[in-house]
Structure 1
Amino acid sequence: QFPELKAQQTLIEKVIEEEEASFLRTLATGINLLDGVIERTKKEGKELISGKDAFELYDTFGFPIDLTELIAREQGVGVDLPAFEQELEAQKARSRNAAAVDTDDWVELIPIKESIFTGYETLTERVRIARYRRVTSKGKTTFQLVFDRTPFYGNSGGQIGDIGYIESANERIPVVATEKENGLIIHITEQLPENPAAEFEAVVDPEKRQAAANNHTATHLMHAALRKVLGNHVEQKGSLVTPEVLRFDFSHFQKVTPEQLREVEVLVNRAVRADYPLEEKRDATKEEAAAAGA
């Protein structure tokens, strides 16, 4: 009924084996730490492991709270579960507060449905602000600007957005980041122009753009090399591409060996030195790109 499972039997068995080994390592680490906590608790004359200690085992080391209870009970102590729940709720509250953002309504100057991206053809463009809003997060205020057209690449595909500046006759304002949201390219600045209705020259930092583009290409070369060295089961699970560094996340059932890493490195460098000519297919869908091996 599921022939693909039979075809991937060896891979599935290896993945299960590695997951089991990983859990056993976590279990061994947690038991050693828990033994120390139990010993300390007894020396202090207490009957309960503190909620803080139990939460640290759970949150930092991935040790299940029910397993902590079971082992502690076997050694004659309990766990302060109400205090553990308080620690858990406190962490959730910290996460909520860290993510809290106060966003004003958009101030619309020019009605547009989407930003026109011109950044493949040029890194400078005459623009007008179509809408803007103020955003406050963690006590810091920034402004989000949407232009009628823009050469700035918005954060997408793992590649961080462009930086640069906008300039009018009276002022120059740095663009510190560029994001994408609901079909709009959003430019982040730390100040609002004195006259938002003015016309501006938008300028992308060319060195940062080229460095980020190079690293973006390298992630695709790395993906191809990993599939060749480790197997076709390797799939991209995420990436981070900046002008300075790149990170490529991928699926694999065990730790990559130094020899395999070296082989991947050789393949990627070989492809870079080959200096293949550029073939652009800007209108290709995500599915078409994947089918082509991107």
Structure 2
Amino acid sequence: MEALYLKDCYVREFEATVLSVTDDKFVVLDRTAFYPKSGGQPYDTGVLISDGKEYKVVFVGKFDGQISHEVSEPGLKEGDKVKGIIDWDRRTLFMNYHTASHILSAIIHNETGAKISGNQIAEEKTRVDFNLENFDREQIGSYEAKVNEVIDRKIDVKIDILPREEALTIPSVVKLKDAFPPEIEEIRVIRIPEIDDQACGGTHVKNTGEIPHIEIFKAENKGKNNRRIYFRFA
């Protein structure tokens, strides 16, 4: 299966062939632009169209290495040709949030040395978790201002798919606690020049100037050495 979003996050329509259908609703395609729920980013929604009939895509997940599209009604079968259309408003919102979370994570890491231990993107807000013993709430306002300054600089965001050995020579690539398993031979790196190089499989904007300004509205302790910041678009 070809995941089109890995190289181009702006593919919003595509054509594909149905490889399999399970229980009349779980559809696997030979290629897709739909993002599956993964890495703290929600799944895409949209439609699959075949022979003039629309099938709403209500969930997308990745199981046993295959991206599965859950459709709202039966009818699709193996071999069918389909046109996929992404719900672009939903996708754009999550791209904005995801790139903004990379910028915020990089600023926190650069200023405190904290490792990012998780994130969760949602429609109304996004959170970033990081490993830090002391939580200086007075710094929070400075983080917000610095993220918005990066947004205003309108920096191009690059996608590089690198051999594992090359990617792991970039000091800032792996800030998440869990290392990549040995079977992963290539690593996708999202690069915001002078700000962040981070391994990531999610969808991102092409330029930071596309992102609305953020507002950090909540910060909390989540146990020993675990801190959490929530932000939304202002």
Q: TM-score, normalised by structure 1?
A: 0.52
The aligned residue for residue 282 of structure 1 is: 161
1:208 aligned partner, one-letter code? R
Q: Against the structure 1 CA distance between its residues 264 and 130, is the aligned structure 2 distance closer, same or farther, given a 3 Å change threshold?
A: same
The answer to which structure has the higher helix fraction is 1
1:172 aligned partner, one-letter code? E
Identity of aligned residues (%): 22
Shift of 1:243: 4.4
**8 A contact 2:20–2:77 mirrored in 1:** no
Q: Distance in 2 between matches of 1:290 and 1:199?
A: 39
Shift of 1:194: 5.1
Do structure 1's residue 131 and structure 2's residue 20 form an aligned pair? yes
Aligned pair count reads: 170
Q: Distance in 1 between matches of 2:144 and 2:27?
A: 41
2:19 aligned partner, one-letter code? A
Backbone CA RMSD of aligned residues: 2.3
The aligned residue for residue 103 of structure 1 is: none
Q: Gaps (5+ residues) in structure 2? A: 176-195, 199-234
Q: Distance in 2 between matches of 1:253 and 1:270?
A: 27
1:1-294 alignment to 2 at 5 Å?
A: 115-119=1-5, 120=8, 122-134=11-23, 143-193=25-75, 195-229=77-111, 231-232=112-113, 234-257=114-137, 259-283=138-162, 285=164, 287=168, 288=170, 289-290=173-174, 293-294=197-198
Q: Against the structure 1 CA distance between its residues 189 and 253, is the aligned structure 2 distance closer, same or farther, given a 3 Å change threshold?
A: same
Shift of 1:283: 3.4
Please list the CA deviations of residues 151-171 of structure 1 after superposition, one character each: whole Å capped at 9, or x if unmatched.
112222321121111011242
**8 A contact 1:209–1:243 mirrored in 2:** no
Q: Against the structure 1 CA distance between its residues 156 and 195, is the aligned structure 2 distance closer, same or farther, given a 3 Å change threshold?
A: closer
* Partner SS state of residue 51, structure 2: coil
Q: Distance in 2 between matches of 1:243 and 1:193?
A: 31
Q: TM-score, normalised by structure 2?
A: 0.65
Q: Distance in 1 between matches of 2:163 and 2:44?
A: 23
The answer to which structure has the higher strand fraction is 2
Shift of 1:293: 4.2
Shift of 1:145: 1.2
Q: Against the structure 1 CA distance between its residues 194 and 218, is the aligned structure 2 distance closer, same or farther, given a 3 Å change threshold?
A: closer
Shift of 1:256: 4.1
Q: Against the structure 1 CA distance between its residues 225 and 145, is the aligned structure 2 distance closer, same or farther, given a 3 Å change threshold?
A: same
Please list the CA deviations of residues 129-157 of structure 1 after superposition, one character each: whole Å capped at 9, or x if unmatched.
211223xxxxxxx8321101111122223
* Partner SS state of residue 38, structure 2: coil
Q: Gaps (5+ residues) in structure 1? A: 1-114, 135-141
* Partner SS state of residue 47, structure 2: strand
2:73 aligned partner, one-letter code? Q
**8 A contact 2:109–2:116 mirrored in 1:** no
1:268 aligned partner, one-letter code? V
Q: Against the structure 1 CA distance between its residues 283 and 153, is the aligned structure 2 distance closer, same or farther, given a 3 Å change threshold?
A: farther
More contact order relative to length (CA 8 Å, sep ≥ 6):
2
* Partner SS state of residue 130, structure 1: strand
The aligned residue for residue 45 of structure 1 is: none
